[in-house]
Homo-oligomer: A and B are copies of this chain.
């Protein structure tokens, strides 16, 4: 049975009670409340604390039972020994879901594990489900609900995240937020006493607001179910996983962290491949991949056109395509002829299309077409499925020039040129419906740009640009072959 309807009140609650609400700035009962208020939650917030009074303008209730409203979600930030009684109380007043931030349970000792089992039993028998304990919170963009004990509020978007490490999950989301990725739902699953990571993934798989799913996994508690849920998930949408604890040293560290069994790396690789999961190589790659799945559609094939102003980057991109199993086909005669018409005579006459630094320099004559016309030739070409293109961002480069030069260049209408270039790039992407990926340079992936808002992601290197295209294609192939097998009755 799917748990999905049970989780609706968690992600779309009409009212939230926060037990352990506090005024002291260092306490989680204070930071979590703060994140709910500043996050702009659209429902009702009921702070609970025996002391009563007011916090940040809200009336504080001495106990849950004194709130006359129905409570969809209870957030618990009180010392560990008081948590079980509050769950009992929650069940009594009909609370439907909970987030238990308090730590000091199963991650500490056997006694803690016992209490966790008791908590889960009490909740389930009372028709309540909960996240945690020992977690950093959760978020849901539609009701603008941010229950974040570290007060970090990610950018709004279409990626949903479940993380077995709260700190790492939020840090990655925040870093990604700074790089054009937006998030829809987030769960820090903590000790998973009741709701497991698998339940959350299952919910995301069916959630129309979620286009792509990301999980940070230290260890899986329900192996068989994980595979089933993942297979169901990847039939519908991409699922990116960063798996920690892949080596002995990592496993040891993981087991002391959340107590989950890490398992062998090879085993996970097999499981992930069979389930259509896209495995991130490292934390940086996680962000690059979710950005790709969030912004791009899957290319129709492996044939990449490369557009560069400077040969080195073109060589690195072609190289990376080769390594990643992509093709960099020769261009048909008609494309070459077309390019000859408007490119400088010393262009590379092939794929990669290198307009050369001199060609790019012509654009300091403020002529956008030096990049946009060859881009259109590539997009129009039937032998090309996607394009890797050098960044059209002039303003970043300006920052690197000597001060006096910056002054000269800043007096030129660079902003207009970039705006024009961006508009044209987005227009072309939409016209030809083929993915365009920008190969920037390290340090350049780190700002929200109109280009990314328009569905053209920027990557820090030619290598990462090729890697994300290849990952999209591999996922597409998995999904297609799965569908084919299924239609033949083989599943």
Contact = CB atoms under 8 A, between A and B. Distances in A.
Contact of A244 (B151, B153, B319, B364): B319
Nearest to A446: B443
A104 to B, nearest CB: 7
A150 interface: yes
Contacts of A177: 400
Interface residues of A, number: 101
A290 to B, nearest CB: 11
B253 A462 contact: no
B38 A322 contact: no
A415 interface: no
Interface in A307-345: 309-323, 327-328
B282 A320 contact: yes
B315 A245 contact: yes
A402 B35 contact: yes
A313 B357 CA distance: 41
B316 A283 contact: yes
A36 B39 CA distance: 51
Interface of A: 25-26, 34-35, 38-39, 103-104, 107-108, 136, 149-153, 163-169, 171-172, 174-179, 216, 218, 242, 244-250, 252-254, 256-258, 282-284, 287, 306, 309-323, 327-328, 346, 348-350, 352, 354, 356-358, 361-362, 364-365, 397, 400-405, 408, 441-446, 460-464
27 contacts: A26-B365, A35-B402, A38-B404, A38-B405, A39-B402, A151-B401, A152-B397, A152-B400, A167-B313, A167-B357, A168-B313, A174-B441, A175-B442, A175-B443, A218-B311, A244-B312, A245-B319, A246-B323, A252-B350, A253-B319, A254-B311, A254-B315, A256-B350, A257-B348, A282-B320, A283-B441, A283-B460
